[in-house]
RNA sequence: GCCGGGGUGGCGGAACUGGUAGACGCAGGGGACUUAAAAUCCCCUGGCCCUUGCGGCCGUGCGGGUUCGAUUCCCGCCCCCGGCACCA
């Protein structure tokens, strides 16, 4: 081989990858095409923060492998990409660098689009969208106006989560404990006027819909179920003694009602102050209210504390008068803000009763008849059997709950209710870089939605951001001062913008016709593509984006735009990319820049490593050595496929079963080697197809291809090589199976080795089941469950023959040494167990 | 506390509905090629035992059980990760 030809054959990832990316861009290779069954493959779109990171590489490689795989299998694949382009970092960057958020965002998009192209991802860029474009968010403003009409959007004053760092309100889903989900800065409660979306109206549907999401990870379903937090119980009315009126409590344990010895209220309860003025130590009660109201949830959790209001309430089930307390552990946000307290059967009430010497009355005993201790040291909270409960004594807890609820309902003293933990979605953000909320405030008319023909309300982009970090919108006279759409009097525009999670709640619908100018969606396009066949993204969105999108889908359905309940049929949540035991992050200084990786090894190596190192749902441990291993394998494939003197004339099609020795190109190779390699080739096709298509375990798919490559190499060395046609087919199969993972080298090697037809025009291989059938199989022979020998028998041997072969094996006879087998079990595949 | 997911070599990870545990890769060892090194190609590599023979014992978090046979199923624990949590 001359120097020049050696150079030609060397694996040069950069040259190969750039050339193919260019070709694909020109041929529009990634556009949805064909007559196949539609397959909508979607990865969560990125926030254009500046540069892509390894998490993106992993997420989008998984998506690209699936997109290319299913396209090769004849599906019509929609694989779009866009930008979740509104958000706070753009504002922070603007203040820091003096660049307008719009400009900063567009530049980032340009950079990142280029990076994604360089990875070889097969996106249909014709469908690209960015949520910060008026052509996009105008539809969202329309949705908002329609939601307003249906009372699905409303404005109220409420205690909300405020993050000083972000300078805005956050939704409940966006608070982790008492920290902001974005940067762990503290969140405190503030009373503010805010816009809310009535997600609670869909609580039951969102919950029951989870049952049909078979293609979702159990983990995410559970997280949403927990988040929605449905509980069934009864509301019970307690007449007040010192006050005209009654108090309603919520309980899931109506069976314990006879054991209630006090009632406790949240300090925020509307009656709290009122009751204090009727007989109690008003000053002490007011002091308690003030003090607890100021505390954070964490401080409140320090210990049970309360104060007697001086008032009493009547238990409707037995007429007993019980004291009414204010208690720090009762939450106004849940239930009715009032609780019937049963110290014997509720641990919180028990602790409270101990502290304030309130009687503990037992009404439930263990179902198995066991005795509870003479003096309780903790509440007995299990279900059991009632006693001291009048007519209900002797009933089980479950029966009693029903019966008591019925009794209360009959007397008009209670009713069965369902409670949710889920709260309405607060979407107002006191930020600039977001979609304007399309309403106007008029002194005469109040809140007036912007008329639909005046949409969009365009966000001004020529702005100077304020040094303090606040939104400049309230200062923009041109933006704020408008005529009331209803009465034409001077009015003021809303200056809050929408939560960016609103944009991401419907972007996947818009991809089906992003160019549509006079409507948000084309019904035919929606019908073709939705629901998303396979969605891929991080688990951190389990109760954020993934819950909001399910909600939004139902809202848009009820507004008449969609005929769809669930947006995502299947969901894959990929794990994080970890290095040195921690998630890659700038603050930890353990980031690996994808660009560097691509520079050094090429995109194919980056893609292969991220698919091979771990199954997709698990965290991926970054390993430089592992990356090198991936590169070595690719180069090994290159040498196998390209550094062959016959390159350009080699075949690729399956020569079929030629065990009779006919039609052999060399006429020498033993048919057994041929058959063995062909068998392994087809077995690899079967494994890889199953691993990618059914299991989405890409690591084992790659491993299977590696085994085939190893086998081809071994055959070359051993001198027992299969015939040329079988080897050619095996090598070509390696390239076909590898193409979704490493599309550039696969295409290049294919072109050099085979030429026509081009790899992209060759469909995914089908395995030939008959090729997997072997003449003989090796059977493991166990004696008492331990492998003692192996015998080879004909593949079609029946159980008796297999057992006989095993029992006549030399080693088995020696091992048995005359002992009589008590039992011989022939397993369904390749195993015999002899018991003595 | 409740819910979900896990615990397999030095490491990342394989093992389909119970059927030869450790595929594949990394790291390590040996060999071939080379003046030499790198690269490449081949072989070995769970632990402990008598080197003695294609050998024996132990081994999938721990303890039991079911089974001819258990990483896999059942019961009881321990530990790790994630979610929810004074939710009445």
Report the C-alpha gap between A771 and A170 in whole angstroms: 60
Q: Work out whether strand A38-43 and strand A425-426 pair parallel, antiparallel, or are unpaired.
A: unpaired
Q: Which of residues 166-185 of A touch strand B (CB under 7 A)?
A: 176
Q: Work out whether strand A262-265 and strand A321-327 pair parallel, antiparallel, or are unpaired.
A: parallel
Q: Which of residues 631-670 of A touch strand B (CB under 7 A)?
A: 632-633, 635-636, 639
Q: CA at A324, C1' at B80: how many angstroms apart?
A: 45
Q: Is the pLDDT of residue A817 over 60?
A: yes
Contacts of A72 (CB under 8 A, 6+ apart): A736, A739, A740, A763, A764
With contact defined as beta carbons under 8 Å apart, do A746 and A702 qualify? no
Each residue's pLDDT tens digit, A163-192: 888 888 888 888 877 778 776 788 888 888
Confidence of residue A608 (pLDDT cuts 50, 70, 90): very high
pLDDT value of position A720: 66
Q: Is the CB of A229 under 7 A from strand B?
A: yes
Q: Is the CB of A492 under 7 A from strand B?
A: no
Q: CA at A778, C1' at B85: how many angstroms apart?
A: 56
Q: Is the CB of A251 under 7 A from strand B?
A: yes
Contacts of A154 (CB under 8 A, 6+ apart): A148, A195, A196, A198
Report the C-alpha gap between A500 and A520 in whole angstroms: 18
**CA dihedral for A704, A708, A714, A720, sign (positive or negative):** positive
pLDDT value of position A6: 42
Q: Which two tokens stand for residue A534?
A: 């396979």
Q: CA at A787, C1' at B50: how many angstroms apart?
A: 22
Q: CA at A163, C1' at B24: how many angstroms apart?
A: 48
Confidence of residue A8 (pLDDT cuts 50, 70, 90): low
Other beta carbons within 10 angstroms of residue A452's beta carbon come to 12
Q: CA at A328, C1' at B37: how many angstroms apart?
A: 76
Average pLDDT, chain A: 89
Q: Is the CB of A774 under 7 A from strand B?
A: no
Contacts of A479 (CB under 8 A, 6+ apart): A460, A473, A493, A495
Each residue's pLDDT tens digit, A377-412: 888 888 889 999 999 999 999 899 999 999 999 999
Q: Would you say the ipTM is above 0.90? A: yes
Confidence of residue A739 (pLDDT cuts 50, 70, 90): very high
Q: Is the pLDDT of residue A3 over 50?
A: no
Q: CA at A610, C1' at B25: how many angstroms apart?
A: 13
> For residue A1, with 0-12 CB atoms within 10 Å meaning exposed, 13-18 middle and 19 or more buried, which class applies?
exposed
Each residue's pLDDT tens digit, A651-710: 888 877 665 545 445 555 557 788 889 999 999 999 999 999 999 999 999 999 999 999
With contact defined as beta carbons under 8 Å apart, do A494 and A35 qualify? no
pLDDT value of position A658: 62
pLDDT value of position A7: 42
With contact defined as beta carbons under 8 Å apart, do A88 and A132 qualify? no
How many Å is the Cα radius of gyration of chain A? Answer: 35
With contact defined as beta carbons under 8 Å apart, do A702 and A608 qualify? yes
With contact defined as beta carbons under 8 Å apart, do A167 and A470 qualify? yes
Q: CA at A733, C1' at B75: how many angstroms apart?
A: 49
Q: Is the CB of A699 under 7 A from strand B?
A: yes
Give the residue whose CA sits closest to B2 at C1': A226
How are strands ordered across the β-sheet holding A481-483? A446-449, A439-442, A490-493, A481-483
Report the C-alpha gap between A313 and A243 in whole angstroms: 9
Lowest mean pLDDT across A28-32, A69-73, A148-152, A739-743: A28-32
Confidence of residue A829 (pLDDT cuts 50, 70, 90): low
pTM of the model: 0.91
Give the pLDDT mean for A99-126: 95
Report the C-alpha gap between A476 and A460 in whole angstroms: 9
Each residue's pLDDT tens digit, A261-285: 999 999 999 999 888 888 778 899 9
Q: Which nucleotide is nearest to A639 (CA to C1')?
A: B40
Q: Is the CB of A303 under 7 A from strand B?
A: yes
pLDDT value of position A670: 54
Other beta carbons within 10 angstroms of residue A673's beta carbon come to 18
Q: Is the pLDDT of residue A795 over 80?
A: no
With contact defined as beta carbons under 8 Å apart, do A573 and A217 qualify? yes
Q: Which two tokens stand for residue A11?
A: 């694996």
3 state SS of A824: strand
Q: CA at A368, C1' at B64: how many angstroms apart?
A: 25
Please tell me the total number of residues recorded for chain A in this structure. Answer: 836
Q: Is the CB of A722 under 7 A from strand B?
A: no
With contact defined as beta carbons under 8 Å apart, do A390 and A293 qualify? no
Q: Which nucleotide is nearest to A834 (CA to C1')?
A: B68
> What stretch of H or E contains A209?
helix A203-209
pLDDT value of position A4: 38
Under DSSP, the state recorded for A310 is: E
Q: Is the CB of A6 under 7 A from strand B?
A: no
Task: Find the distance separating the first CA and the last CA of chain A, reported in whole Å.
Answer: 64
Give the residue whose CA sits closest to B14 at C1': A700
Confidence of residue A5 (pLDDT cuts 50, 70, 90): very low
Q: Where are the beta strands (DSSP E) in A229-360?
A: 231-240, 246-251, 262-265, 306-314, 321-327, 338-341
Give the pLDDT mean for A417-444: 93
Q: Is the CB of A246 under 7 A from strand B?
A: no
Nucleotides of B under 7 A from a protein CB: 3-5, 11-16, 19-21, 23-27, 39-43, 56-57, 68-70, 82-88
More confident residue, A48 or A655: A48
Q: Which of A97, A95, A122 is nearest to A31 (CA)?
A: A122
With contact defined as beta carbons under 8 Å apart, do A722 and A674 qualify? yes
Under DSSP, the state recorded for A47 is: P
Report the C-alpha gap between A11 and A63 in whole angstroms: 26
Contacts of A400 (CB under 8 A, 6+ apart): A254, A255, A386, A389, A392
Q: Work out whether strand A776-783 and strand A831-835 pair parallel, antiparallel, or are unpaired.
A: parallel
């Amino acid at each position: 081989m001359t120097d020049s030809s050696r150079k030609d054959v060397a694996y040069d990832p950069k040259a190969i990858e750039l050339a193919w990316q260019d070709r694909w861009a020109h041929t529009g290779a990634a556009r949805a095409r064909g007559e196949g069954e539609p397959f909508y493959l979607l990865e969560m779109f990125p926030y254009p923060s500046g540069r892509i990171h390894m998490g993106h590489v992993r997420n989008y490689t998984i998506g690209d492998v699936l997109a290319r795989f299913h396209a090769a299998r004849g599906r019509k694949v929609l694989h779009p990409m866009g930008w979740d382009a509104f958000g706070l970092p753009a504002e922070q960057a603007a203040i820091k660098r003096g660049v307008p958020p719009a400009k900063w965002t567009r530049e980032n998009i340009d950079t990142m689009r280029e990076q994604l192209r360089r990875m070889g991802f097969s996106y249909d860029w014709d469908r690209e969208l960015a949520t910060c474009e008026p052509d996009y968010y105008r539809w969202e403003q329309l949705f908002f106006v329609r939601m307003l009409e249906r009372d699905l959007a409303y404005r109220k004053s409420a205690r909300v989560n405020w993050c000083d760092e972000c300078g805005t309100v956050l939704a409940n889903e966006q608070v982790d404990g008492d920290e902001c989900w974005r940067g762990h800065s503290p969140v405190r409660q503030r009373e503010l006027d805010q816009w809310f979306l009535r997600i609670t109206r869909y609580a039951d549907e969102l919950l029951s819909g989870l049952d049909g999401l078979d293609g979702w990870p159990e983990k995410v379903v559970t997280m949403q179920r927990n988040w929605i937090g449905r509980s069934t119980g009864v509301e019970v009315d307690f007449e007040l003694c010192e006050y005209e009126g009654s108090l309603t409590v919520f309980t899931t344990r109506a069976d314990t009602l006879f054991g209630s010895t006090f009632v406790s209220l949240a300090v925020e309860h509307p009656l709290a102050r009122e009751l204090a003025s009727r007989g109690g130590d008003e000053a002490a009660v007011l002091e308690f209210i003030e003090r607890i109201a100021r505390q954070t949830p964490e401080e409140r959790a320090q210990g049970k504390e309360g104060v007697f209001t001086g008032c009493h309430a009547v238990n409707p089930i037995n007429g007993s008068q019980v004291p009414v307390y204010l208690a720090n552990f009762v939450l106004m946000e849940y239930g009715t803000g009032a609780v019937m307290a049963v110290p014997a059967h509720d641990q919180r009430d028990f602790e409270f009763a101990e502290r304030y010497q309130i009687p503990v009355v037992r009404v439930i005993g263990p179902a198995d008849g066991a005795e509870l201790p003479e003096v309780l040291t903790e509440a007995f909270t299990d279900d059991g059997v009632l006693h001291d409960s009048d007519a209900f004594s002797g009933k089980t807890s479950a029966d009693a709950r029903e019966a008591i609820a019925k009794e209360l309902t009959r007397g008009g003293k209670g009713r069965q209710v369902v409670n949710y933990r889920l709260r309405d979605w607060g979407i107002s953000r006191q930020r600039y870089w977001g979609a304007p909320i399309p309403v106007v405030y008029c002194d005469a008319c109040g809140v007036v939605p912007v008329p639909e023909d005046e949409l969009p309300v365009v966000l001004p982009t020529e702005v100077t951001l304020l040094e303090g970090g606040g939104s400049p919108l309230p200062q923009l006279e041109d933006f704020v001062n408008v005529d009331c759409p209803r009465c034409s009097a001077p009015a003021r525009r809303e200056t809050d913008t929408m939560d960016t999670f609103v944009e991401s709640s419907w972007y996947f619908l818009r991809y089906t016709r992003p160019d549509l100018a006079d409507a948000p969606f084309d019904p035919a396009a929606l019908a073709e593509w939705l629901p998303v066949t396979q969605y891929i993204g991080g688990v951190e969105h389990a109760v954020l984006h993934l819950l909001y999108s399910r909600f939004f889908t139902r809202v848009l359905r009820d507004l008449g735009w969609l005929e769809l309940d669930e947006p995502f049929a299947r969901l894959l949540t990929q794990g994080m990319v970890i290095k040195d035991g921690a998630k890659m992050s700038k603050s930890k200084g353990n980031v690996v820049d994808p660009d560097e990786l691509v520079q050094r090894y090429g995109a194919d190596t980056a893609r292969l490593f991220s698919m091979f190192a771990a199954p997709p749902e698990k965290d991926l441990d970054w390993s430089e050595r592992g990356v090198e291993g991936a590169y070595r394998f690719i180069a090994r494939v290159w040498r196998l496929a390209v550094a062959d003197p016959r390159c350009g004339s080699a075949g690729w099609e399956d020569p079929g079963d030629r065990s009779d020795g006919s039609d052999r190109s060399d006429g020498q190779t033993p048919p057994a080697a041929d058959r063995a390699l062909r068998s392994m080739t087809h077995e690899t096709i079967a494994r890889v197809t199953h691993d990618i298509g059914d299991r989405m375990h890409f690591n084992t798919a790659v491993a299977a291809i590696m085994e085939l490559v190893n086998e081809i190499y071994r055959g070359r060395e051993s001198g027992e090589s299969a015939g040329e046609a079988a080897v050619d087919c095996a090598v070509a199969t390696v390239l076909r199976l590898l193409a979704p993972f490493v599309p550039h080298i696969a295409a290049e090697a294919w072109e050099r080795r085979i030429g026509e037809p081009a790899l992209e025009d060759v469909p995914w291989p089908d395995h030939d089941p008959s090729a997997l059938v072997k003449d003989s199989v090796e059977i493991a022979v166990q004696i008492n469950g331990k492998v003692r020998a192996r015998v080879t028998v004909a593949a079609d041997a029946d159980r008796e023959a297999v057992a006989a072969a095993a029992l006549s094996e030399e080693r088995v006879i020696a091992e048995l040494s005359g002992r009589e087998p008590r039992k011989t079990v022939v397993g369904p595949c390749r195993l015999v167990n002899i018991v003595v």
